[in-house]
């Protein structure tokens, strides 16, 4: 049985392998590269999230960003529209969870940030 991988997954694997080869040639570990990256660019996002006062969804987004320690920038565009990384999403609050509407439907912002953290570095 032949397993086929999507092209973007294959490209991602190829990039990871190429990066690992360069790191081994230089004698660097992933931790050393991450430490140097944090020193050069900071450990936080390039644009810090500004929580609007008395807006519950902003407080939940801020809490999620702090808990995950993500470097993905998030900013409010207008109302319930947020720029997350390079994409614009409509967000809503359901209980204590922030949901984002995307092409696949809805997903939790925490799941989206965890899934896309490595792609947006």
CA atoms of 54 and 96, how far apart (whole Å): 15
Length of the chain: 121
Instruction: Enumerate the CATH 3.30.920.20 domain ranges in the chain, comma separated.
Output: 44-121
Q: Residue 7: its pLDDT value, please?
A: 55
CA atoms of 120 and 65, how far apart (whole Å): 14
Could you report the per-residue pLDDT of 46-86, keeping only the tens digit for each?
788 999 999 999 999 999 999 988 888 999 999 999 999 88
- Whose structure tokens read 């020193």? 39
Q: Residue 11: its pLDDT value, please?
A: 66
At what angle are helices 109-116 and 56-68 packed, to 10 degrees?
A: 30
CB-based contacts of 67, cutoff 8 Å, min separation 6? 110
Whole-model pTM above 0.85?
no
CA atoms of 121 and 119, how far apart (whole Å): 6
Name the CATH superfamily, with its identifier, for domain 44-121.
Gas2-like domain (3.30.920.20)
Check pLDDT > 90 for residue 100: yes
Could you report the per-residue pLDDT of 2-18, keeping only the tens digit for each?
445 455 566 667 777 78
């Amino acid at each position: 049985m032949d397993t086929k991988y999507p092209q973007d997954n294959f490209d991602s694997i190829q990039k990871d392998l190429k990066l690992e080869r360069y790191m081994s040639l230089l004698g660097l570990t992933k931790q050393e590269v991450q430490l140097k990256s944090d020193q050069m660019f900071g450990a936080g996002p390039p644009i810090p999230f500004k929580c609007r006062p008395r807006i519950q969804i902003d407080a939940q987004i801020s809490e999620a960003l702090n808990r995950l320690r993500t470097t993905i920038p998030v900013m409010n565009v207008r109302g319930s529209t947020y720029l997350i990384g390079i994409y614009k999403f409509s967000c809503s609050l359901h209980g204590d969870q922030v949901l984002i509407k995307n092409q696949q439907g809805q997903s939790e912002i925490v799941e989206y940030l965890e899934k896309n953290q490595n792609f947006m570095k």
